[in-house]
């Protein structure tokens, strides 16, 4: 690979295309959003260019603080649950025969083809009192009478985990498929039971993948705005729900933009912190 | 009896019979090398001894106790893997202390023992290094120290030196043997390198096609190979097709005095290159044409064509053979140095 710094305009040619794509699809929209977040909202109309901090000021209330805290908490929970379920699953998946692996991966991919709306309504049926899974428990004698499991936090979490799990597994898969199995065998020859070997060899060796997966699912879950509305009470509405509400139903673009910018900043800060902790531990 | 006893151990992977009816007993404190070409089942056999592979049939006994169904982590063994399998997330100390950590050994005792082990493999002071900072030979030593940390009953090594360059490999072979003698630990090494086996082993187990072809001391295997496969695999040898006519053994139509062989088909005479003596044309038991002379400095190899076969004679530079390519030459060997083997 060439290591000399680029000199002429020609040397920059390879990055022109990605550069244009980034500017058109990322920099311009994001800059527009930041700009709008400082605009002044006109009651009954749209907005006029201005530089006011009202939109951010309005955000600094206990109500929005609570919603923000809940949004972050929910996203973290989704990420953790996805990892706790997905990591062992993928660990066993990569040991299956090739055919079985392909079958599993195909069915996981098919879940990705479902829209958030369909997932939401499917789960709302599945968790309902009249047609839900509790009817099955009653038939099996596990419960006395069917119950509604929604709306509520559990239902929101379940739906979002269901939606994010395929991504989790697809991100974990390549790394675990490349895992050196002799590490696990070495641990076993030294007296570690398979479970112990899993926790003190496989997990630490996969730490970078685990951190990357947590961040990805976290960011993914942070943007979810339909499932909390379908499966949750207003108490479980996330900041993304409020942003949608402000932008689409209240026509308050500047405030929606301000919330979105704030959410992005908080998410970036958290991701940065996680990476930093990860690096610090790697050095230790 | 004490020691490791394998009896009629088998391993089938579907239609593939990787290991077939292997019976072997290894007394305590013995250094055994399992030797064979790739795919001969030696690694599978080692993995069954380690419990990493479940035998299809047969049993494995350690000091009289049947361990066939005992899981790996309760077998009290130390193993060095071909890839070494050092834990990348732990430093040298962490790697060596792993087995002790699992057993809940106290910090002070652990520290003392790690120091002792590092000393043993000549790596004192390397405890804080990360595995990535070590050279190939150093990693090797760490892997050995790690496997010996809790004084296992069995020390297993799967092609442990294959990643090292030739010079370091030879040095490590000697070192490993000396270490084993000092510790008196029962050791089984899998290798495809016959020099390695000859250097280290008390007992060499030659495997081919999933079976044990011969199990004996290195010298015994070298001097008295059980069959043509063993003769050919251990060192280099000349396999001379043998015919028996009226009770006399002949090769290439010439009688070979002193060779006693039953009248059977498919027999061959194994003669080591260093046992072949060149003689002036017309003398000696056999006559051939010199095809090529290779002067390696320490030895001189003369390649001789006889009746479509090529034989090799090795001589020391002191009695350099006075032959040139294309010359007719006679050759002979002492009957005592020739072994009749069946293919």
The encoded tokens of residue A165 equal 């799990």
d(CA A177, CA A174): 5
| Residues recorded for chain A | 284
| Chain B nearest C-alpha distance from A203 (Å) | 10
Q: How far apart are CA A269 and CA B285, in angstroms?
A: 89
Confidence check: pLDDT of B280 > 90: no
Among the partner-chain residues A186, A196, A201, the one whose CB lies closest to the CB of B81 is: A186
Q: Which residues of B51-60 are buried (b: 16+ CB within 10 A; e: fewer)?
A: bbbebeebeb
* Whole-angstrom distance, CA of residue A119 vs CA of residue A230: 10
Q: Closest by alpha carbon to B22, among B47, B45, B46? A: B45
A199 touches chain B (CB under 8 A): no
pLDDT at B146: 93
- Identify which of A168, A201, A164, A203 has the alpha carbon closest to the alpha carbon of residue A186: A201
Tokens of A12: 């920059």
pLDDT of residue A45: 66
Classify strands B186-191 and B154-158 as parallel, antiparallel or unpaired. Answer: parallel
CA gap A68, A75 in Å, rounded: 11
* Interface touch A186/B102, C-beta < 8 Å: no
Contact: A201, B81; criterion CB under 8 Å: no
pTM: 0.79
Dihedral sign computed on CA atoms, order B183, B175, B128, A277: negative
How far apart CA A58 and CA A41 sit, in angstroms, is 12
User: Is the distance from CB of B80 to CB of B156 less than 8 angstroms?
Assistant: yes
3-state SS assignment for residue B40 = coil
Burial class (CB in 10 A: 0-12, 13-18, 19+), A45: exposed
- Distance between CA atoms of residues A211 and A83, nearest Å: 10
**CA B68, CA B60: separation in Å to the nearest integer?**
5
A8 at B interface, C-beta within 8 A: no
A192–B contact, CB cutoff 8 A: yes
Nearest CB neighbour to B87, from listed A183, A188, A193: A183
Q: Is B248 helix (H, G, I), strand (E, B) or coil?
A: strand
Q: What is the pLDDT of residue B201?
A: 92
Amino acid A282: pLDDT: 60
Model confidence pLDDT, tens digit, residues B24-75: 999 999 999 999 888 888 999 999 999 999 999 999 999 989 999 999 999 8
Closest-CA distance of chain A to residue B138, Å: 18
Q: How far is B13 from chain A (nearest CA, A)?
A: 14
Alpha-carbon span B207 to B40, nearest angstrom: 6
3-state secondary structure of B334: coil
**What is the phi/psi pair of residue A73, to 5°?**
-60, -45
DSSP of B175-243, one letter per residue?
Answer: HHHHHHHHHT-EEEEEES-HHHHHHH-SEEEEEETTEEEEEE-HHHHHHS-SSHHHHHHSS--EEEE-E
The residue of chain B nearest to residue A179, with distances taken between CA atoms, is B85
| C-beta separation of A157 from A236 below 8 A | no
Q: Find the CB nearest A185 among B85, B89, B150.
A: B85
User: Which of A1, A182, A165, A143 minimizes the C-alpha distance to A93?
Assistant: A165
pLDDT tens for each residue of B235-279: 888 888 888 877 788 888 888 877 877 777 788 888 999 999 888
Q: Answer whether B75's CB lies under 8 Å from B55's CB.
A: no
A157 φ, ψ to 5°? -60, -45
SS3 A240: helix
Residues from chain B contacting residue A194 (CB–CB below 8 Å): 73
Please judge whether B85 and A182 are an interchain contact, meaning their C-beta atoms are less than 8 angstroms apart. Answer: yes
Q: In the beta sheet, which residues pair with residue B287?
A: B330
CA A93 – CA B279 distance, rounded (Å): 68
The pLDDT tens digits along chain A (284 residues) read 556 777 777 888 888 899 999 999 989 998 998 888 888 877 766 777 878 787 788 877 888 888 888 988 999 999 999 999 999 999 999 989 999 999 999 998 888 888 888 998 999 888 888 887 888 888 888 878 777 777 888 899 999 999 999 999 999 999 999 999 999 999 999 999 999 999 989 999 998 889 889 989 998 898 888 888 888 888 888 888 888 888 888 888 888 888 888 888 888 888 888 888 777 666 55
| Cis preceding-peptide flag for B213 (omega within 30 of 0) | no
Distances in Å between the Cα of A116 and the Cα atoms of A122, B78, B200 are 10, 52, 66
A249, A204 contact by CB (below 8 A): no
Distance from CA of B80 to the nearest CA of A (A): 8
* C-alpha pair distances (Å), B23 with each of B63, B206, B339: 16, 13, 25
Domains in chain A (CATH in brackets) are 61-283 (1.10.3720.10)
Residue A187 has a pLDDT of 93
Burial A201-217 (b: 16+ CB within 10 A, else e): bbeebbeebbbbbbbbb
Residues of B with CB under 8 A from a CB of A: 50-52, 71-79, 81-83, 85, 87-89, 98-99, 102-103, 146-147, 149-150, 156
Would you give the DSSP letter of residue B275? G
**pLDDT value, residue A39:** 85
Q: What is the largest CA-CA distance in chain A?
A: 78
Start-to-end C-alpha separation, chain B:
35
Would you say A170 and A89 are in contact if contact means Cβ atoms under 8 Å apart? no
Average pLDDT of chain A, as a whole number: 86
Q: What is the pLDDT of residue A52?
A: 79
pLDDT digits (tens, 9 = 90+) for B289-331: 999 999 888 889 999 999 888 999 998 888 777 788 888 888 8
């Amino acid at each position: 690979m060439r290591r000399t710094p680029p000199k002429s305009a020609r040397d920059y040619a390879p990055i022109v295309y990605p550069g244009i794509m980034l500017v058109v699809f990322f920099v311009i929209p994001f800059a527009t959003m930041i700009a709008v977040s400082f605009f002044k909202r006109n009651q009954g109309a749209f907005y006029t260019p201005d530089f006011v901090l009202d939109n951010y000021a309005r955000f600094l209330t206990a109500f929005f603080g609570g919603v923000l805290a809940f949004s972050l908490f929910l996203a973290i929970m989704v990420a953790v649950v996805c990892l706790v379920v997905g990591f062992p699953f993928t660990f066993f998946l990569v040991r299956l025969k090739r055919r079985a692996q392909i079958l599993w991966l195909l069915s996981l991919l098919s879940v990705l083809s479902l829209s958030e709306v369909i997932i939401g309504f499917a789960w709302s049926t599945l968790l309902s009192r009249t047609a839900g899974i509790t009817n099955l428990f009653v038939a099996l004698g596990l419960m006395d009478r069917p119950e509604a499991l929604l709306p509520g936090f559990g239902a929101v979490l379940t739906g979002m985990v269901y939606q994010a799990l395929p991504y989790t597994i697809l991100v974990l898969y390549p790394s675990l498929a490349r895992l050196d199995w002799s590490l696990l065998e070495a641990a076993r020859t030294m007296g570690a039971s398979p479970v112990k070997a899993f926790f003190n060899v496989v997990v630490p060796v996969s730490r970078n993948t685990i951190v990357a997966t947590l961040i990805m699912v976290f960011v993914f879950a942070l943007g979810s705005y339909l499932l909390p509305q379908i499966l949750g009470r207003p108490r479980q509405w996330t900041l993304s729900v409020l942003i949608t509400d402000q932008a689409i139903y209240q026509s308050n673009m500047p405030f929606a933009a301000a919330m979105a910018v704030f959410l992005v900043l908080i998410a970036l800060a958290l991701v940065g912190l996680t990476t930093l902790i990860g690096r610090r531990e790697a050095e230790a | 009896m004490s020691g490791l006893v394998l009896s009629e151990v088998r391993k089938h992977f579907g239609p593939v019979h990787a290991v077939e009816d292997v019976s072997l007993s290894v007394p305590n404190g013995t250094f055994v090398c399992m030797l064979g070409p790739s795919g001969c089942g030696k690694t599978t056999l080692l993995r069954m001894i380690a419990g990493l592979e479940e035998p299809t049939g047969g049993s494995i006994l350690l000091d009289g106790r049947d361990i066939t169904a005992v899981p790996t982590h309760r077998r009290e063994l130390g193993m060095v893997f071909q890839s070494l399998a050092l834990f990348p997330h732990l430093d040298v100390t962490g790697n060596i202390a792993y087995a002790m950590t699992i057993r809940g050994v106290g910090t002070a005792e652990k520290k003392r023992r790690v120091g002792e082990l590092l000393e043993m493999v000549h790596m004192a002071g390397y405890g804080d290094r990360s595995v990535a900072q070590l050279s190939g030979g150093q990693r090797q030593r760490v892997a050995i120290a790690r496997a010996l940390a809790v004084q296992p009953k069995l020390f297993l090594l799967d092609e442990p030196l294959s990643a090292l360059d030739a010079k370091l490999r030879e040095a490590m072979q000697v070192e490993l043997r000396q270490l084993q003698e000092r510790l008196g630990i029962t050791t089984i090494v899998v290798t495809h390198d016959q020099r390695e086996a000859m250097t280290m082993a008390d007992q060499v187990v030659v495997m081919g096609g999933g079976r044990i072809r011969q199990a004996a001391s290195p010298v015994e295997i070298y001097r008295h190979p059980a069959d043509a496969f063993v003769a050919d695999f251990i060192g280099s040898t000349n396999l001379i097709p043998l015919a028996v006519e009226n009770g006399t053994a002949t090769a290439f139509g010439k009688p070979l005095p002193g060779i006693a062989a039953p009248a059977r088909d498919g027999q061959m005479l194994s003669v080591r290159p260093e046992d072949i003596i060149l003689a002036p044309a017309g003398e000696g038991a056999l006559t051939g044409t010199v095809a090529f002379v290779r002067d390696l400095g320490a030895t001189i190899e003369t390649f001789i064509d006889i009746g479509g076969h090529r034989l090799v004679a090795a001589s020391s530079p002191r009695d350099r053979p006075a032959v040139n390519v294309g010359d007719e030459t006679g050759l002979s060997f002492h009957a005592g140095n020739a072994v009749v083997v069946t293919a």
